Amino acid sequence: MPKSSGPQPSSSTSSIKDPLVSLARYSEIGFIIPAAVLLGFFLGKLLDYWLHTKWFYLVGLLFGAVVGFTQMIRMALGASGDKSDANSDSDSK
């Protein structure tokens, strides 16, 4: 007797869900870069305060920008990989 993994979504539910998933994915890109830059800036300011220096905020700012853009590129490549997988699945049917 095969085990059921639960109810399967109908095609109408998945067609409504796809634009929402894409919207969430792409709106996340808009938040990642500013969040990474601000986090790096504030951590740099904290280091400046703690070590009595005046230049760590710049290092944190640059580090945050690099991390933010790296994460954005990773997400974009992952999204394009998902689209090519979906296209190849629909082509095979």
- The span from the CA of 74 to the CA of 70, in Å, is 6
Could you tell me the residue range of the domain that residue 79 belongs to?
Answer: 27-92
- For residue 25, what is the enclosing H or E element? helix 11-51
Cβ burial of 60 (10 Å; 0-12, 13-18, 19+) is: buried
What pLDDT sits at residue 79? 73
In this prediction, residue 27 has a pLDDT band, given cuts at 50, 70 and 90, of: confident
| Domains: count for the chain | 1
- The span from the CA of 75 to the CA of 25, in Å, is 8
Residue 2 in any domain: the answer is no
Residue 15 in any domain: the answer is no
Its sign, for the CA torsion 73, 34, 55, 52, is: negative
Q: What is the mean pLDDT of residues 74-91?
A: 70
Q: What is the mean pLDDT of residues 29-39?
A: 91
Residue 79 in any domain: the answer is yes
